[in-house]
Structures are given as structure tokens and as C-alpha cells.
Amino acid sequence: MAKTEIKLSDHFGYKMLLRFSLPSIAMMLFTSIYGVVDGFFISNYVGETAFAAVNLILPYCMAFGAIGSLFGVGGSALVAYVRGQGDNTRANRIFSMLVYSMLAAGFLTELISQLLLTSAAGWLGANEALFPICIRYGRIFLMTQPAFILQFAFQSFMINAERPKLGLLFTVSAGVGNMILDWLLVGVFRMGVEGAAIATCAGQCVGGIGPLLFFTFSRTSPIRLGKTSFMPGELLKSASNGIADFITNVAMSLVNMVFNLQLMKYIGEYGVSAYGIIMYVSFIFISVFLGFSMSVSPIFSYHYGAKNYDDLKGLFRRSLTIMLCFSIGLSAAAEISARGLASIFASYNQEFLELSTRALRLYFIAYFFAGTGIFGSCLFAALNNGPLSGFLSAMRLFVFQLSAVLLLPRLLGSNGIWLAIPVSEVCVMMITIIVFIKNKDRYHYA
């Protein structure tokens, strides 16, 4: 009889790895899909200028949620490691301390982000038409920073608690609520970008507060929210473990800002809007890599903490095989679906549609190479080597992507902007393979 529940302590074959990771992949996919719905309503019901304005300011708004990945992914690795050592009481105290710290950080970042919003819109190149829309959208979006940060973090902790299906349920609930409100506020009541921002905030509250209540009142979860004390060593260790994901999320926002500046320079508002389409739909494909890597990370942490090195070797080999299959399938699917995805946002304007289709097809080349770097960064965070994980993320975003987006347009014009990510992902894949080889004996995964 098949097991109904999978534990971190189990021995994972291909089938069990996929069963355990599917809820997380589905959770990330659904998150990306309701992001697409946001973009659809803004583009088709408010207009291309509003669509460009939202995509110009959105990277700034999203950057502050990276605190959730700093302590969510990093803290989850530490909690799983401590659980693997058999100390569940200490694991719960660490978890509780991290949640309370993130709540405090959420209120602080809400204040800071609101104070800097007007200046940020100017730095990002908002012109006279885009500036007021950026401000109206950003003011509302930034009002729920504590819930936004918790939503980021609980995606990892629900896996750690061996409740990936419940995590998926919270994500689906948040997404459905967001989509319904998008339809009502933007499509029916015509509230414009303000309605879209309110819908997004409501979804963040469901995704952040729902799991918070679960961890507070659940009697069956292996990790629960309760009494704790401030543990600076564990806080720093969690931050060290999660620094790669933090860097990734902050750098992604920074890279997106630089992309938008380059696009305003080389193409104009249409370019920013086309890149906005890329950001909405690319996460559909990247979410498969992220969902799988996030779901297997606690398994690596647990078995590394328990010194089950044979399990680590099997996990590493099977994970790389699965990621290779994902890379082949996703890159093919992305190229085939490029025009259809572009038409969701740009069917009303032929010039915009053609530009977006070409941009997507060039950008989507990256998916054949992206999985290795994403998995490598998550793996070393799971093995509690935050600096190495952070190094891979920093190379990927701060070195290769920023360099490519600044240099390639000088050589290839606007096509160089769309090819910046594929070129950088090839470089990251090569670096990651070298790191895998150099550290295989230290961590016993190969």
C-alpha cells in the first residue's frame, strides 16, 4: 500500500521525489499564474501606459519581500538540520524567533519603502505620464509588507513542516482571491491600478496570515509557533544560509530596474511593457525549477544533519537528472508558446505584440541552462553553506546579468537586452558545475 505521507527521513527515489516536490511546484506555478492575471487586467482594462508604469515600479516594491527569503529559506535549512539532529524543541524555538523577527522587519520595511517611493520612481526613469501611476500603485502595494514577507518565508517552512499540500492550499486561496478581486475591482468597477494593487495586497494577506494561524494553533505540525528568546547566533546563521536567496530576490529587482532603464533608452514605453510581459510569464517556467529546488532543500538538510551520506548521493544524482529533464521540456514549451503568451497582454496592438513575441523567444533560450544554477544555489543553502550559495547567486545576478544587460545592447542593439539572460545563464551553469566538482568530497553528495 502506498504511503500517504512522506517524511524528510524517508529514502527518496525518483517517484517519491516527484511526489514530494509536486505540491511546491504547483504552488509556485499558481503564484506565477495569478501574477499573469494581474498583468492581463492592467494591460487590457487600464491600458499600455498603466501597464508600463506598474512594471516600472514593481521591482522596487518586490525587493522588500526578499527579507522573507533571507530568513525563510535560510531558517528552514537550519530548522531542518536541527530536526535531523533530533532536537525538535530547539528547532521550534528557532522557528518562532525567526517568525517574530520577520514580523518586526515587515513593519520597519513598510515605513522605509513608503518614504523612498517617490524618489525611487524618479530614479527608475518614470516620465511625466508614468510617474503618478507608479506612485498610486506603489502606495497601496507597500501597505502589507509584513504579510508579504511572511508569505515568502512560509513557502519554505510549510515544506519543512511536511505540509506541502497545505502550503499549496494557502497559495491557491491567495491566488483565487487575488484573481476574483482583479476581475471585480479592475474589470467590473474600473478602479484602475489602485484596484489591482488592492487585489494583490489581499492575496498577500491570505498567503501570509493563513500559515501564521496554522503554525500558531496546529497540534500536529512538527514545527510550531510558541515561546522563544532572541538567539543572535541562530539569526545570523539563518541569514547566512538564506543570503543566496536574499541576494537573488534583491538582485532580481535591481536587474529588472536596470533592464527597464535600458529599455526606456533603446525602445521606450513599449520596451518596458514587453519586458513586463517577460517578467509575468517567465516565472511560469522558472517556478518549476524553483519549486523543485525549494522542496528538495529540506531533504538535503535533514540527511546532511543526520549524516546519511548514501541518501545524499542518491538525492543529488536523481535531482540533477530531474532538473535536466525539466530544462529540455520547459525550453521547448516556452519557445512553442511564446506568441500565445504575448497575445494575452498585447493582442490589441500589433506592434506591441510583434515586439513582445520576439523578446520572449530570445529570452526563453535561457531556460535550457537556468536549472543548474538555481538548483546549485538552493543545494548549498540546504547544506548550511550560505556564503557559497550567496556566491553563486551574486555571480548570476550582479556579475553576469548586470554585465550582459549593460554591454550586449552596445553590440546587438535592443536584441542584446533580450539575450542578456540566456548569455548569463550559460556562464552560471559553467561556474556551478565547477563548484559541484570542487565540493563533492566535502559534503559527500557525489
- Whether residue 7 lies inside any domain: the answer is no
CA angle 123, 33, 15 (to 5 degrees): 125
**Structural domain boundaries enclosing 182:** 14-443
- Whether residue 142 lies inside any domain: the answer is yes
DSSP, residue by residue, 3-30: -SS--TTS---HHHHHHHHHHHHHHHHH
Mean predicted lDDT score pLDDT of the chain: 91
pLDDT category at 50 given cuts 50, 70, 90 is very high
pLDDT category at 283 given cuts 50, 70, 90 is confident
Half-sphere exposure of 424 (CA within 13 A, CB side): 27
- Whether residue 420 lies inside any domain: the answer is yes
Instruction: Provide long-range contacts, Cβ within 8 A and 24+ apart, for 140-143.
Output: 140/194, 140/197, 140/198, 140/201, 141/58, 141/61, 141/197, 141/200, 141/201, 142/61, 142/64, 142/110, 142/113, 142/114, 142/117, 143/110, 143/201
pLDDT category at 92 given cuts 50, 70, 90 is very high
Residue bearing cell 475591482: 185
The per-residue pLDDT for 4 is 54
> What distance in Å separates the CA atoms of residue 98 and residue 76, rounded to the nearest whole number?
10
Compare 115 and 395 and report the one with higher pLDDT. 115
pLDDT category at 294 given cuts 50, 70, 90 is confident
Report the percent of the chain where pLDDT is more than 90: 71
Mean pLDDT, range 336-358, rounded to an integer = 94
Is the pLDDT at 221 greater than 90? The verdict is yes
Mean pLDDT, range 9-37, rounded to an integer = 86
- DSSP-derived secondary structure letter, 383: T
Give how many domains the chain has, as a whole number.
1
> What distance in Å separates the CA atoms of residue 424 and residue 427, rounded to the nearest whole number?
5
Mean pLDDT, range 73-93, rounded to an integer = 91
Helix (H, G, I), strand (E, B) or coil at 302: helix
- Whether residue 75 lies inside any domain: the answer is yes
The predicted-structure confidence for 165-200, as pLDDT tens digits, reads as follows 898 899 889 989 999 999 999 999 999 999 999 999
pLDDT category at 141 given cuts 50, 70, 90 is very high
Mean pLDDT, range 362-378, rounded to an integer = 94
Instruction: Provide long-range contacts, Cβ within 8 A and 24+ apart, for 310-313.
Output: 311/11, 311/12, 312/443, 312/444, 312/445, 313/444, 313/445, 313/446
Is the pLDDT at 3 greater than 60? The verdict is no
Residues 6+ apart with CB under 8 A from 395: 427, 428, 431
Is the pLDDT at 245 greater than 80? The verdict is no
- Whether residue 254 lies inside any domain: the answer is yes
The per-residue pLDDT for 2 is 44
- Whether residue 418 lies inside any domain: the answer is yes
- Whether residue 2 lies inside any domain: the answer is no
- Whether residue 1 lies inside any domain: the answer is no
